[in-house]
Amino acid sequence: MRRVALATLRHDLVRTVLLVAGLASAWALVTVQLGLRRGFELASRGLLDHVGGDVWVSARGVKVIDDAEPVLASVLPVSLDPCVLRRRPLVVDFAQVRLSDGSLVTVQIVGVDPASRDRVPWSVLAGVRGEIDSAGLVGIDAADVSRLELKGQGMGQALRLRTGVPLRVGVVSRGARNFTQTPYVFVDIETARRVLGLPSDGASFWVLDLRDPSCAAAVSRSIQGPSLAAPPREELALSTTRARIEGSGIGLLLTVGSLMAGAVGAAALLQSTMTLVRTHLREIATIRALGARRSELAVFVAWQAGIVSVLAAVLALALASALAKLLEGAGLSVVVDAWSWAVGLGIALTSTITAALVGARLLGRVDPREVLE
């Protein structure tokens, strides 16, 4: 039956090619949309993950990392839990860069203290991370160079903030980007406070490193109060991701888009299987009349669905990679990781098995008397 399935596919070449192309496009769309969603997830929590720490202290009511009121060091409890190894101030707030024509571009200032300098910015492409300093040497991402009207990689060039504080690019990263695509400007904590007009002991977050991560809950409880929140890092990361991905509707859009692409693929495979049965009804009835078992007919249709699916999966892989590169060129991160592949493979397998089962059921119902005129 494998040979009959192969020969039939070869014989109906145009139909086979169209089916494989359609199925591959649908599955590539599933994978890329899931990859985009994953990329957005990672982008929305990227800063949190790279700064690290165990507990993030902020003003009460902060749900998203880039939406925090400053907290003064003096507001923190005088004596922190003995489990706290150190606290690192982090400033995250918006500012504006003035372009040559006088227009303004909103950027996100990320101010880190020396203790965080070995972590931020990440994925450094040019320059040395430790060179971000109080003299105004800053880091930006390569994807934002042209948006900030810089030339080449941007290294050594000046950024003019609306407030007039002079900055100069000393580090360029690749892929250190915000979910909202607002350019990050990584600066020294003192520079951040100066640029944003914050008090000298102010910070959007106080990141606590613990001696033992298992005491995070106890430390959180000991700090949180009427004006302070102290969620463990993962909790803030989840609420940030939820607000960004689900709150913006992009998560739902991409999930529904993936499901629809998957459904279109499944429908195409199913339709093709039903067409196969209709087109070859007499031949199938003939081999049934000649004594074919139902299981042999099922093997025939399973081989067809399987061969088409394997070809489509290989093509989908290539298409998804090409699409991901194209989107990355446009500044969007498509993370096609094991999870995306697993979901894509799951959809492909479910479609294939459904089509094979429906096809086998249809074939099993073919009446061998069809062969008699």
Partner 1 sequence: MRLSGCEGVTHEFDDAGSPVVALANVSLDVAGGELVLLVGPSGSGKSTLLSVLGGLMKPTRGAAWLCDTPLTELDAEGRARARREHLGFVFQSFHLFGALSARGNVECVLEMKGASRRDQVGMAERALRQVGLGARLDHLPAQLSGGERQRVALARALATAPRVIFGDEPTSSIDAKSASLVLEVLQGFVDASRCVVLATHDPRLYPIATRIVTLENGAIVDDRAPSR
Distances (CA, A) of 220 to 66, 208, 242: 20, 10, 21
**What gap in Å lies between CA 309 and CA 20, rounded to an integer?**
7
Smallest gap from residue 277 Cβ to partner 1 (A): 14
| Residues at the interface with partner 1 (CB under 8 A) | 1, 3-4, 7-8, 10-12, 280, 282-283, 285-294, 296, 367-369, 371-373
Smallest gap from residue 312 Cβ to partner 1 (A): 20
Distance of CA 260 to the CA centre of its chain: 19
Pick the closer one to partner 1 by CB: 247 or 368: 368
Q: Helix, strand, coil proportions of the chain in percent (round to 5)?
A: 55, 20, 30
Smallest gap from residue 373 Cβ to partner 1 (A): 5
Smallest gap from residue 307 Cβ to partner 1 (A): 13
Which residues, at least 6 apart from 323, have a Cβ–Cβ distance to it below 8 Å?
A: 28, 32, 334
Pick the closer one to partner 1 by CB: 146 or 275: 275
- Among 7, 221, 185, smallest CA distance to 96 is for 185
Smallest gap from residue 10 Cβ to partner 1 (A): 7
Q: How many residues does the chain have?
A: 373
Tokens found for residue 367: 């009446």
Smallest gap from residue 286 Cβ to partner 1 (A): 4
Q: 269 has which bridge partners?
A: none
Tokens found for residue 123: 């994925």
Tokens found for residue 88: 């690192």
Smallest gap from residue 27 Cβ to partner 1 (A): 26
Residue 185 phi, psi (nearest 5): -120, 110
Distances (CA, A) of 291 to 21, 287, 333: 35, 6, 56
Contact 161, 96 (CB under 8 A): yes
Pick the closer one to partner 1 by CB: 30 or 302: 302
Pick the closer one to partner 1 by CB: 234 or 370: 370
Smallest gap from residue 11 Cβ to partner 1 (A): 3
Pick the closer one to partner 1 by CB: 209 or 296: 296
Pick the closer one to partner 1 by CB: 181 or 279: 279
Q: Can the peptide bond before residue 82 be classed as cis, meaning omega within 30 degrees of 0?
A: no
Q: Transcribe 138-164 into DSSP letters.
A: EEEEGGGTTTTT--TT-TT-EEEBTT-
Pick the closer one to partner 1 by CB: 15 or 160: 15
Residue 53 DSSP SS3:
coil
**What gap in Å lies between CA 249 and CA 254, rounded to an integer?**
9
∠ Cα 187 175 126 (to 5°):
60
Pick the closer one to partner 1 by CB: 5 or 57: 5
Smallest gap from residue 358 Cβ to partner 1 (A): 20
Pick the closer one to partner 1 by CB: 285 or 305: 285
